[in-house]
Chain A
Amino acid sequence: MSNNQLKIILIDEQPERFEILDNALREQGHEIVARISASEDIIATVERTQPDIIIVDLESPGRDTLESMQAINRDRPRPIVMFTNDGDSATIERAVKSGVSAYIVDGLSPERIRPILDVAMHRFREYQQLRNELEQTRMQLTERKLIEKAKGILMKKRGLDEDQAYQSLRKMAMDRNLKLSELARSIIAAAELLE
């Protein structure tokens, strides 16, 4: 499969509306791995088929489920493209553009599908990058907490001051070729065992 071919899930409540989209996507060589409505099992379908992109009808109640899947990261996040046929699209488009990973257009004209998918994928990657950076910050915070705690243990057990405790942690980590946070974790675990 070439890079340009995508595995796609379509979530629509009125099948006839998505017929044209379905055909156009297949003609462009994409694979429709599932076509379901919100009363079916969206979560399991996404987990089973591992799509590259999800296309959802704006009027599908499945939006809330999809958003929460992205938020809790239960599953590999993926771009969501929303389609609408009603007159709301111009305003909704603004909201979505400033949001996260979705893109929207009114009408389902086949010639516009390709650029929409491209834009959605691009925007999604940008967003993912941002998200990864945030995740990293969160990790760093957790690590810092562990180190603080391990430092506290050393200060108490060995009567060191804060700086000495930190230097001693650093040395131990270097001697054992461990990351500071990994060492901190084992010191905390050991202290808990001894208590």
Chain B
Amino acid sequence: MQPETRDLTLGFIPLIDAAPLAVAREQGFFETEGLNVRLSREASWANIRDKLCVGSLHGAHMLAPMSLAISLGLNGIRTPLVSSFSLSLNGNAITISNSLREQLKNLNPEALASAHQSVISLKQIIDSRRREGQAPLTFAMVYPYSCHNYLLRYWLAAGGINPDEDVNLVVIPPPQMVSQLAAGRIDGLCVGEPWNQVAAARGYGTILLKGYQIWQNAPEKVLALRADWAQEHPHTHQALLRALLAASRWLADDRHRDETVAMLSQPQYLDLPPEPIAAGLKTGGHVFYRYCANFPWRSQAIWLLSQMIRWGQIGQTLDPEALAASVYRSDWYREACAAADIPCPSVDHKPEGVHVSEWQLESLTLGPDRFLDGREFDPAKMLDYVADADIASIHPALENTRQQ
């Protein structure tokens, strides 16, 4: 099948999890599929959104929740997007300033040992600051519609901290996190690798916990396309998905790790020394291919929607299943897998938060998926899940839904 167009421009933000795009280009997987792809490094998620929505980018490395938010019209002008391909699982960490680390350690030496202990001690610090009339602690994340925002909030709320009232949450782009931490403007941050490692290597902070400790094998970035473009270019889209499948499989081979690090450290990608990138791949625990990492699980899209509702980002009633189905086009992913002879799940949902170790689904091996507090998520009961949360800031327009 001839692709409708061969020339494509794909946008990305300098992060390790943009690796599948870099590999597909550098290792010739795009070329094998007859595609001529230009990769465009972008300065902000807002730029990615604007350029994708108006068509100056054909596709982009995108925060998974952003594809849903844009499709819903929460973020800029409403533009239906599709993401048929998950680029990676995990990859984030929470880093705290040296001074906050000292305070935690003095309070409880065990505080640095576990996600649960750390947040309990953090709450004590926050409470005592409030009693003494000190300013609230400031935490940074990369974007309101990001897994970083939801993981950070999940962790805080699990320790009884209300992220909208007890701390000051700000948005800072990944490369700027390091200088903001160095300048003492933020006390903690949640960002994708290698930026935690860069901050730690320069002595500005300590990595307190990995995203994996909050939600094991959490979804992270997707390949996002405009839905109308994908409809009009089915063969190009399939070629793109096959190239990314090949790149992801290549990345999963540990023998390619050094080459991956060298590739990403180049100026056109991360423009950083190899050391923090190599270290970032370890703390990030990125999964690029194993555990069906590329499959667009609608259950995960619905979990992301649950967090948007929990934190007041959605003020309209919606049909989560219909939205997830329109954005997470698993049918197109399966088509690419069939052509590449790669096995993939026949179902679109899985229970989230129930597996402590690897498990089998239809002869496929999937990874652990527990949340830090052990809560389970049934995508069919999303509203109950939100209603059960102790700490939430639900939009008043949805409060009635919550009571039902």
Contacts and interface: CB of A to CB of B under 8 A. Distances in A.
Interface of A: 13, 38-39, 41, 43-44, 58-65, 67-69, 71-72, 88, 91-92, 94-96, 98-100, 138, 141-142, 145
19 contacts: A38-B176, A39-B179, A44-B185, A61-B43, A61-B44, A61-B176, A63-B47, A64-B44, A64-B46, A64-B143, A64-B172, A65-B171, A68-B170, A91-B54, A91-B56, A92-B51, A96-B50, A138-B315, A141-B397
B53 A41 contact: no
Given A64-B173, A141-B396, 12 more contacts: A39-B176, A61-B173, A64-B142, A65-B170, A65-B173, A67-B46, A92-B51, A92-B56, A94-B54, A95-B51, A95-B53, A99-B77
A79 to B, nearest CB: 15
Contacts of A63: 43-44, 46-47
Nearest to A58: B47
A63 B51 CA distance: 14
B43 A71 contact: no
A116 to B, nearest CB: 18
Contacts of A60: 43-44
Counting from the closest, the 9 A-B pairs by CB-CB distance are A68-B171, A61-B173, A63-B44, A91-B54, A63-B46, A141-B396, A39-B179, A95-B50, A95-B54
A157 to B, nearest CB: 20
Contacts of A41: 180, 183, 185
Size range of the interface on B?
A: 20 to 34
A58 B185 CA distance: 24
B173 A62 contact: yes
B175 interface: yes
B77 A95 contact: yes
A91 B55 contact: yes
A71 B185 contact: no
A88 B56 contact: yes
Interface in B132-147: 142-144
B45 interface: yes
B186 to A, nearest CB: 10
Contacts of A61: 43-44, 173, 175-176
Contacts of A69: 171
A43 B169 CA distance: 11
A149 to B, nearest CB: 11
A61 B175 CA distance: 9
A59 B40 CA distance: 12
Given A41-B185, A65-B170, A99 B399 contact: no
Contacts of B176: 38-39, 61-62
A107 B176 CA distance: 26
Contacts of A99: 50, 76-77
Contacts of B47: 58-59, 63
Contacts of B142: 64
Nearest to B53: A95
A74 to B, nearest CB: 8
A59 B172 CA distance: 15
Contacts of A43: 170
B129 to A, nearest CB: 19
B170 A92 contact: no
Nearest to A96: B50
